Structure 1
Amino acid sequence: MTTAFLFPGQGSQSVGMGAGLADAFASAREVFAEVDEALGQHLFKLMREGPEDQLTLTENAQPALMAVSVATARVLKREFDVDVAAASFVAGHSLGEYSALCAAGAIPLAETARLLKTRGQAMQKAVPVGKGAMASLIGPKTDLALAEAAAAAGAEVGVCVVANDNNAGNIVISGEKAAVDRAIEKAKELGARAIPLNVSAPFHCPLMQPAADRMAEALAGVTIAAPTPPVVANVTARPETEPEAIRRLLVEQVTGRVRWRESVAWMAGEGGVGRFVEIGAGKVLTGMAKRIAPEVESLSLNTPEELEAFARG
Structure 2
Amino acid sequence: MTDAVEPELPRGIALAWGVAATPQRGPKREMSVERIVEAAIEIADAEGLGAVSMAAVAAKLGFTPMSLYRYVTAKEDLVLLMQEEATGSPSEASREAGGWRERLEALFGEQLQHYLRHPWVLDIPISGVPATPNTAAWMDAGISALDETPLTYEERLAVMLLVTGTAHWAGTVLAGYARVEREQGVGSDTIARNEDAMFRALITAEAYPSLRAAIEAGAFLDESDPFAFALERGLDGVAAYIAAAAEGRRGVRTQWVTLDDADIADDKKFREAQKAVRQAEKALRDARKLERLAAREARDRKARQRSES
Task: Output the TM-score relative to the length of structure 2.
Answer: 0.23
TM-score normalised to the size of structure 1? 0.23
Structure with more contact order per residue of length (Cα contacts < 8 Å, sep ≥ 6): 1
Structure number having the greater helix percentage = 2
